[in-house]
Amino acid sequence: MLYKVILVEDDPLIREGLSKIISWNEFGLEVVGCAADGEKALRLLEDISADVCITDIKMPHMDGLTLMKKCNGTNRRMKYVVLSGYTDFELVKEAAQIGIENYLVKPVNKEELVQTLVTIVEKLDAEQRRQEAVNEGIQVFRDNLLYRWITGGITYEELLDRKSYLGFPILNNYMVGIIRLSSATGESQVQKMYKSEKEKRLKGLLFMQNNFADSSAGMIDLEGNLLLLFPDADVNYERIDAHIQKMVRYAATDQMFYAFAAMGTVVKSPGELEKSYYEARFILDNYAICSEKNVVWYEEISQYIRNIPSDYYEKMLMLTSKFNPDDKGEIFQLLEEVMGDISRTPGIRWETLQAFGVIFLGNILQNIKRYKPHIATEMEQLQLQIAEIYQCNSLKEMIHWMKELIEKALIVSRQDSGKYSQVINGLIQYMKFNYDKDICIKNIADLFHMSPVYLGRLFFQETGKSFTEYLNSLRLNQAKDLLANTDIQIQQIAEKVGYQNSNYFYTVFKKKAGMTPAEFRCRSKKSIPVQ
């Protein structure tokens, strides 16, 4: 991003000279306008925004000091550099009280101007990072509050104490929905592109949801699902249905993704919201029951499970929540026991057995995913296959097929276990896909619901590197590749690999590589090996 500069000077030759004295873009700046006096500058600033104003003091109609005072009333973030044909202590003093970065005497010394601009850019970068951190902190807190409300992790009284952070009034008759995007191809070699595109698609869906109604809301949970909150759902059912159908169509536009929406029932009180959430969650984990649809309401799926004997259902839920996800023998024994018991129930229908099998498999895969979150994408791909259970024509065939699917899940689980714990493995994967963003251990620790200090210590124990060292290594390796194989400007490369401050990038690169980025590029082009 280039910061915007306006030049205010009544002498046209000096004005033109200032615009050409340096290569502004190399310093992260661009000249977006010029004016001959303060009045013209104010009119110019009505149409464009600027971060830096370089202005003369003595000008007709409106001088530079008056201009700065007026600008401070509307844009206190703007940085000022004052020009003057002579040094006047009283003018310098008055300008300093307004707030200036430097007072330069004409003719302008190029080196002094450059140093002033470098300092200004560093300040603007720091201010932007602080503001982004504040905004992100507020958003993280809001999303955390919304998630706790939706999932029942906060009492209604606690919610009321914090309602101002939600950004919308708390109403009645709420409904919760969940949208999940799964890869339509399942090809592991495009995982990075898939994750990047999925993130863009989810942001688009989130924008649609937050603009649907005044008090509708959405957030992306830790599994990468989009949680949806709808007020007054009892009277807006048809409108919500049309909105969800539109979102699903948008998500699956280019057939890169399979989109599925699960919708809970309406609850009258805001304090009962978790009921609607867990209904939607149940559909999500067992959507193979209605696999021919991409939007399923709880009222639709409940008819499939109504005939399952409650004692068998509760036993299945209890057993599948306690099994060892690495013990195939235990899982298969559990499968044969539970399916055998329910099949001997007098009057049990084949369709009920199939629905029970879907729920059983959904719970097994969900628990494997909970123990090993870094293979969540692979588990979601296997969940798409559960609908094939309806092709089985006997209990024996169905149990055999279920064992085959579970075997696939366990193979994936074992192959991707790696040398790190599931937490650190998940953290490393997150860093690999997000190194180009402004990430820090504190924000990631919030995502993992862990203490930053503990997560940092655990990361160092398992990798032998601090979080910052590992992140810098990822970024610098990518930067070296771009330096050697592209002609992208060095400042742009710094931004592409996650460094918001190009000066810091130069410092880190030289320290690690033993040379500047420009020297590295030069040697790489000449095919000279670099250690």
Distances in Å between the Cα of 508 and the Cα atoms of 10, 121, 502, 503 are 43, 18, 10, 9
Residue-level pLDDT at 424:
83
Distances in Å between the Cα of 358 and the Cα atoms of 119, 171, 318, 401 are 62, 36, 16, 12
Query: What CA–CA distance (Å, rounded) separates 22 from 114?
Result: 8
Residue-level pLDDT at 176:
95
pLDDT tens, N- to C-terminus, the chain (531 residues) = 789 999 999 999 999 999 888 889 888 999 999 999 999 999 999 899 899 999 998 899 999 999 999 998 777 789 999 988 777 777 777 888 888 899 888 888 888 999 999 999 989 988 887 777 666 667 778 888 888 899 888 888 888 888 887 878 888 899 999 999 887 655 443 455 556 788 889 989 999 998 898 788 999 887 789 999 998 887 788 899 999 999 999 988 877 788 899 999 999 988 899 999 999 998 888 877 776 788 999 988 877 777 777 777 777 777 666 666 667 788 888 888 888 888 888 888 888 888 888 888 888 887 777 666 667 777 777 887 888 888 899 999 999 999 888 888 887 777 654 566 777 888 887 888 788 888 888 888 877 777 777 788 888 877 778 888 889 888 998 898 888 878 888 989 998 899 888 888 888 898 888 888 988 888 776 544 333
CA quadruple 452, 454, 459, 460: dihedral sign: positive
Structural domains of the chain, ranges and CATH numbers in brackets: 3-127 (3.40.50.2300), 168-300 (3.30.70.270), 307-417 (no CATH), 422-525 (1.10.10.60)
Residue-level pLDDT at 247:
94
Query: 378 and 415 in contact (C-beta within 8 Å)?
Result: no
Residue-level pLDDT at 528:
40
Query: What CA–CA distance (Å, rounded) separates 28 from 502?
Result: 9
CB atoms inside a 10 Å sphere around CB 47: 8
Residues 6+ apart with CB under 8 A from 249: none
Residue-level pLDDT at 38:
93
Query: What CA–CA distance (Å, rounded) separates 484 from 376?
Result: 35
Q: What is the DSSP string of 320-388?
A: HTTS-TT-HHHHHHHHHHHHHHHHTSTT--HHHHHHHHHHHHHHHHHHHHHH-GGGHHHHHHHHTTGGG
**What are 52's two structure tokens?**
């830096």
Residue-level pLDDT at 189:
39
Find, among 133, 80, 197, the residue nearest to 500 by Cα.
Answer: 133
Query: 223 and 209 in contact (C-beta within 8 Å)?
Result: no
DSSP 498: T
Find, among 150, 211, 205, the residue nearest to 175 by Cα.
Answer: 150
Residue-level pLDDT at 3:
93
Residues 6+ apart with CB under 8 A from 247: 179, 205, 208, 209, 259, 261
Query: 420 and 463 in contact (C-beta within 8 Å)?
Result: yes
Crossing angle for the helix pair 273-285 and 110-151, to the nearest 10 degrees: 90
Query: What CA–CA distance (Å, rounded) separates 370 from 357?
Result: 20
Residue 369's Cβ-count burial label (10 Å; 0-12, 13-18, 19+) is: buried
